[in-house]
Structure 1
């Protein structure tokens, strides 16, 4: 059975390989430090039968966005800067890609963002897509491109709340 857990010492980070050295390095060397410093939270996807092996992960952090980047119909409702959550990283190990684990991770992230929004004011979820392929991937979940940077994407709370 698949489970999402907060990254901890028991997880085997050194063996994780998603094919992207920067994401691998972050998980292996930086993610736990950021958790301990309160900068972000990294959640790992594991199989209940072998909960030490990381199948994939995502990282969430709080951010502040200038409304100039938002679509005009959304920006007009807000002051110059607004709080949000950022999907800072998302990766699935090479061995487990193309099995819909990314969908599972995004679903978990959306659940956490909705929970956050019930306790802290935010306007939605942001993500920096690394390329056009990643942009298309996020768009299937309702993310929209921001003005001036088509790889910076936004999922408004109104859309997130439809997933409740």
Structure 2
């Protein structure tokens, strides 16, 4: 993991310095893709969270929503520079969304939230039906009802 370089230092440093600790403490679950030499070439991390109902659209929260809505949080997603453009980003997103769909059979989620690191990340996520939320720049949500359609789009 020491050689992981995605071009986004915050994502690289988090993988190197925090991923294992957060995994052990139960803060996030991190999944990696490795090459044939067992070098990590991509990863995503997921955890649970909450979002205030006023920060999402009516279609995301439904009617009679409680003050805070349970969400899955796609906390991190990155691919090394040399492996970008090969479909690993969409594959990691698809894996994360499939994990959320599976977990939603046991734990309720109204959607998947991502805090996009920059405008390039916003463009990546909006391509797969993530929508802006209110109150925070570059925070996006994919309502649970749209996850299956998004997975199908990622697969194409």
Same fold per TM (> 0.5)? yes
Contact 2:112 2:144 in 1 (8 A): yes
Q: CA deviation at 1:136?
A: 1.2
Task: Decide which of 87, 93, 113 is 1:106's aligned counterpart.
Answer: 93
Q: Distance in 2 between matches of 1:96 and 1:38?
A: 29
1:2-151, aligned counterparts within 5 Å?
A: 13-47=1-35, 49-50=36-37, 52-77=38-63, 78-151=65-138
When structure 1 is superposed on structure 2, of 69-78 and 96-105 the one drifting more is 69-78
When structure 1 is superposed on structure 2, of 84-93 and 71-80 the one drifting more is 71-80
Q: Distance in 2 between matches of 1:125 and 1:76?
A: 15
Find the residue that maps to 2:138 and give its secondary structure: strand
Q: How many corresponding residue pairs? A: 150
Unaligned runs of 5+ in 2: none
Find the residue that maps to 1:17 and give its secondary structure: coil
Unaligned runs of 5+ in 1: 1-12
Q: CA deviation at 1:76?
A: 4.6
Question: TM (normalized to structure 1)?
Answer: 0.85
Q: Does 1:158 align with 2:150?
A: no
CA deviations 1:64-92 (Å, max 9, x no partner) are 11111001343352111011110111110
Question: TM (normalized to structure 2)?
Answer: 0.90
Q: Distance in 2 between matches of 1:72 and 1:149?
A: 17
